[in-house]
Every structure is written in C-alpha cells, then in structure tokens.
Amino acid sequence: MPAQICSLSLVNLEVNCAVTCSCCTSCGGGSSGGGGSQGGSGSLSGDPVYELIIAQYPGGAPALADASSPQRMAFQWLKSTANDGIPLGQRLLQRYALATLFYATQGNGWTTSSSWLSQTNECSWYTTANAGSVCDSNGNIIVINLQNNHLQGSIPMELLLLNGTLGKIFFGFRLPLPTAVGR
C-alpha cells in the first residue's frame, strides 16, 4: 500500500480487512484516525448505540455491518445531531426503527416526508392518519400510516423493535412484509 495512504488520518474510513497491509495499525477494529461508528463492521462493536440495537435485535448485526444498507444509514443518522440529547433506550430504538423504514422504502422519494429524520419528536413526523395521534401517552408509536405516499422497497425487520406498542401499519398497497412483522 502506498505510504501516502498509510499516513492519512481519516475520520470516515471504511476498512476492508480482506486487504493485507503492513502500515495499518488496526484493521478490523476501526482506524486509529478516529473511524468510530462510521468505519468497518468491526468498529461498530463497543459503540453504545450499536450495542443497544443488537441487544434488542441480534439478527440486525449483518445489516448494520453493510455500509450501504438502510440499517447502517439509520444507525449513522442516529449518531447525528438530530438525536442529541435522546438517551439510550426505547425512544432511540423507536427512532432507529422508523429511520430504517425511511431508508428501506426510499423515503427521499416519498410524496411527503415532512419532519422525518429531523430533531422533531417522531410522534409529529408526517403521517397520512386522519385523526388521532400515532403515539400513545408515553410517546410510543402505535400506528404507522403512510398510505399513498409512494413507498418503494421492502419493510425492514427492525419494525419488530416496535412490537410492544405498534398495533397498525397502513401503506395503502403491498410491500414485502417480513413474516415476523406480520404476526
């Protein structure tokens, strides 16, 4: 590997540990340049947000390790300033599940996505629900209603993180629904 690359100190370094290099000090465990949560799959381990997600949904680890997955994009969003001040816990998991839904269904192409992935409380994110709140009195999502909003893609398994409170999902047309979510 050229010495110029080895001497760089990058914040967002994706480590490919299939590559053998003599200059790197920590292939697989994140970069010494501060890769943190943005690095390869090995750099996620030990991150408190990652550990929270995996503790509740162990099956999500492979998707989180894939830098191009909706899950990884949602994880990176959780680490943004939009979520500053939100403590580790159910609310952060709820925001992760909804962000994963956004990315998995191409939220940037939705007809309306007002407030989605913002600092605004997720109970106030855009919904096509006509009446009532999409959250219960504790701030837990009980309804996802995005009918006729041009969702494309598939419904992520991470909606299981809302399993204790989510009662209804409305999309207005068929999207592939994970079997475990449909139970």
Do 24 and 59 fall within a single domain?
no
How many domains, the chain? 2
Using the predicted structure, report yes or no on whether residue 164 has a pLDDT greater than 70: yes
Do 18 and 74 fall within a single domain?
no
Do 16 and 96 fall within a single domain?
no
Domain contains 105: yes
pTM: 0.73
Tens of pLDDT, residue by residue over 40-78, are 445 798 999 999 999 999 999 999 999 999 999 999 999
Residue 115 CA to residue 31 CA, distance in Å, equals: 34
Do 58 and 145 fall within a single domain?
yes
Tens of pLDDT, residue by residue over 90-122, are 999 999 999 999 999 999 999 999 999 999 999
**Residue whose pair of structure tokens reads 């409380």 in the numeric block:** 121
Per the structure, the complete domain to which residue 92 belongs is given by 46-170
160 contact partners, CB below 8 Å, separation of at least 6? 57, 97, 178, 180, 181
Do 76 and 166 fall within a single domain?
yes
Using the predicted structure, report yes or no on whether residue 162 has a pLDDT greater than 80: yes
Do 60 and 130 fall within a single domain?
yes
pLDDT of amino acid 20: 40
For the chain, give the mean pLDDT.
Answer: 77
Do 54 and 135 fall within a single domain?
yes
